[in-house]
Amino acid sequence: MVRFISRTNRRLLTIAGIGVLLGFALLPALESVTSYIASPGYRADAVGTVSHTADMIGDSEAEPVWEERAIDPGGRAMVHSATLIELADGGTRAFWYGGSREGAHDVGIYTARLPPNEQQWGAAREIMNRTKLSEELGRYIKKLGNPVGFRDAAGQVWVFFVSVSFGGWSGSAINAMVSRDGGATFGRARRLVSSPAFNVSTLVRGRPIQMLDGGIALPVYHELLGKFAELLHLNPDGSVRGKQRLTRGRSHIQPALVVVDAETAHVFMRYAGEAVKRVHYVSTNDAGLNFSPPRHSNLPNPDSAIDAIRLASSETLMVYNHSETGRNNLSLAISERDPGEWARIYDIERSETGSGQHFSYPSILRDSSGRIHVAYTYNRQYIKHVTFNETWLARIRRGPATEP
C-alpha cells in the first residue's frame, strides 16, 4: 500500500502521525506546568519539627523529665542508623537497620513502637530485607542501609531507605514505602530515580520536611565522585518533582534540615573533608529557592552524623559528637539565633578517647506534647532512646555553660 502514497503524502502522514503523538503527550505536560510550584514554603508546624501551638512552650510539664530506654535489637548482632517518628496516637515509632554486620546480606530494616504513656518499647519487627525488595522491584539487591521515617500531613508513614545492587555505599539508590496504618504494614516499595548514571550514589539520612502544598523535601546526599548535599522534592504521592544541589565538592554529607518558618530553614551537615572539622550548614530565606554557600559552625565534627530540631523557644537543639576525632561521646548543643554559634549544654554519653565506645547516628524528635526524643546507635549493639522535656532542658541550661 505504501507504494500508492506519494512521497509528499508520506511526509504529511508522518508529520500528522507525530503531531497526534505530540498532542497526546502535551496534555500531561501542560497539566504539570500549571500544577508546578517551585517552592511552596515549608510547613513550620510539621510533625517532628517544631511545636504545634504556642501553649506547648516550655513548662507544659512542670517537672523535669529524663528517661532512658533500650530498643530491642531483634536478636541482631549489629544495629545502626535509627530514626524516630511520632504516631497519630502520641506513641513513637523507630526504624533502623540491623544484621550480622554492616553491609551483610542479612541486613534488614526494623521497626518497633513505643505506645503512649508506656515505658517499654515493643518487640522489633523486620519490615524489609533484600530478598523482599528484590522481589518487589524485580531486580537484584545486594544490601540495605540507612532508613528514614516520616509521617506526612495526611497521616501516612513513609520509610525512605538505601539499597545497593552492586559495589559499596557509593552505589546506593533510595527506595520508599508507605504505610496507612501507622507503620504496622507497608505497601510495595518503589525506587526513586535521582541520577542518570545507573541511578547510583544517592543516599538518605536526614528527616524529610513537609511542604505547604503537601509535597515533601527529602534531604539526601551524593558520594561517588563528589560528596555533596542535595534536596529531593517529592510530590505527595512520592514521585520526584525536583532536585536541588545544596553544596559542591567532597566535604558535605548527611544533611539535616531544620525549619524556622515557612521561608527560613537551615541545613546542617556532616563534614567529610579534612580542612575544617566542624559542623557545616547552609541557609535559605526564600523557602529553598536559594541557599547560602556552606559555612562552618563552632561545633566540632569527627565526620559523623548530626541531627537538630527547632524548640518551642525558637532556639535550635542539636545532638552531635563533640569531637574532631571520634564518636566516643554524644552531646546536646543549643543555638539561640545564629546557626553558626552554639553552646554545648549536656553530654548524653561520654567516654575516654580510645575506649572503644562509640555513640553515633543520632535522631532527634520533638513530639506534640513537647517532649524531646533522641535515639542513637550504642556501640552498634542496640539503639538507645532518651526522652526529656524542656523543663529538664531549662534546668540543665541554668547550670554552668560549657564552651564548645
Partner 1 sequence: MTAYGSFGWAFVLVLLGVYCSARYTDSWSIRLGIAAAIVAAAFSIQFDHVPLIGFVAAVQGEPSVGMLLILGGLAARGILPERVTEEDFGGLRTCIFWLGLVMFPSALGVGPIDLYAVGYHPYAALGLLFLAVLCVGFAATRLLAVWATLSLLLHGHDAGESDNIVDYLIDPIVFVYSSWHVGSRVWRRFRDAR
Q: How many residues in the shown chain lie near partner 1 by CB under 8 A?
A: 51
Residue with smaller CB distance to partner 1, 54 or 275: 275
Determine contact, residues 109/74, Cβ cutoff 8 Å.
no
Q: Which three cell numbers stand for residue 70?
A: 533500650
* Complex with partner 1: residue 165 or 297, whichever CB lies closer: 165
Q: Residues 6 or more apart from 322 whose CB is under 8 A from it?
A: 299, 300, 329, 330, 331, 333, 344, 347, 404
Query: Should residue 184 be labelled a site residue for partner 1 when binding is judged by CB under 8 A?
Result: no
Of 170 and 391, CB closest to partner 1: 170
Interatomic CA distance for residues 39 and 369, integer angstroms: 30
The only residue of 141, 259, 306, 311 in contact with partner 1, by rule CB under 8 A = 141
Among positions 224, 262, 345, 396, the unique one binding partner 1 when judged by CB under 8 A: 224
When asked if residue 14 is in the footprint of partner 1 (CB under 8 A), the reply is yes
Q: Residue 19 or residue 187: which is nearer to partner 1 going by CB?
A: 19
Task: Express the helix, strand and coil content of the chain in percent, nearest 5 each.
Answer: 15, 40, 45
Position among 101, 188, 245, 295 found at the interface with partner 1 (CB under 8 A): 245
96 near partner 1, judged by CB under 8 A: no
Query: From the CB of 28, what's the least distance to partner 1, in Å?
Result: 4
E-only strand ranges, 306-358: 307-310, 316-320, 329-335, 343-350
Which of residues 135, 286, 336, 352 is near partner 1 by CB under 8 A? 135
Task: Check if the beta carbon of residue 96 is closer than 8 Å to that of residue 79.
Answer: yes
Minimum Å gap between C-beta 65 and partner 1 is: 44
Among 122, 242, 340, 404, interactor with partner 1 by CB under 8 A: 242
Closest CA to 153 of 246, 49, 11, 69: 49
What letter does residue 4 receive in the DSSP assignment? G
Instruction: Quote the least distance from Cβ 134 to partner 1, whole Å.
Output: 5
Determine contact, residues 48/366, Cβ cutoff 8 Å.
yes
Q: Is 360 in the site for partner 1 (CB under 8 A)?
A: no
User: What is the grid cell recorded at 351?
Assistant: 567516654
The answer to whether residue 195 forms part of the interface with partner 1 (CB under 8 A) is yes
Distant-in-sequence, close-in-space partners of 252: CB < 8 Å, separation ≥ 6: 221, 227, 228, 229, 246, 269, 270, 271, 272, 273, 280, 294
Give me the least distance between CB of 67 and partner 1, in Å please.
Answer: 42
CB of 268 to partner 1, least distance (A): 20
**CB within 8 A of 3, min separation 6: which ones?**
none
Residues binding partner 1 (CB under 8 A): 11, 14-15, 18-19, 21-22, 24-29, 32-33, 36, 131, 134-135, 137-141, 165-166, 190-191, 193, 195-199, 201, 222, 224-226, 228, 230, 233, 239-245, 248-249
